[in-house]
Amino acid sequence: MLVITGFLTFRAEDVYEVVEGLLAVSELSRKDPGCIDYWWAEDLERPHTFRFFEAWETAEQFEAHRGMPYEDAFNERYLPKLVDVDAHVYTVTARTSALGM
């Protein structure tokens, strides 16, 4: 399993447009084969910054997701508006419920 986390920071004047794009890309991404979890959240301490979390069953499914036309369209439209960005990939070996702890 892969987990990808990070953030994207945009210019203030682009935030409303970006939110629309994040909503659309989230809806489509969650339907991709192998998607376990996919979400964005506005950072409460950094203005105009959105944090993301993705979990995928396999690296191959994540790569297939990255090659989807809607991903390309999102990247072309919104990545030029970036002010700051960071991301990390984690390889996870197991997943269990934390509710029984």
Condensed to tens digits (0 to 9), the pLDDT of residues 45-85 reads: 999 999 999 999 999 999 999 999 999 999 999 999 999 99
In a domain, 97, yes or no: no
In a domain, 98, yes or no: no
Cβ burial 30-42 (10 Å sphere, 16+ → b, else e): eebebbeebebee
Query: Quick one: how far is CA 36 from the chain centroid?
Result: 12
In a domain, 99, yes or no: no
In a domain, 101, yes or no: no
Beta bridge partners of residue 82, listed in sequence order: 10
Contact 52, 7 (CB under 8 A): yes
In a domain, 46, yes or no: yes
Mean pLDDT throughout 32-53?
97
Q: In this structure, what CATH number is given to the domain that contains residue 44?
A: 3.30.70.100
Task: Please give the residue range of the domain that contains residue 84.
Answer: 2-91
Domain count, the chain: 1
Per DSSP bridges, beta strands 2-10 and 82-91 are: antiparallel
| pTM attached to this predicted model | 0.89
In a domain, 24, yes or no: yes
3-class DSSP state for residue 30? coil
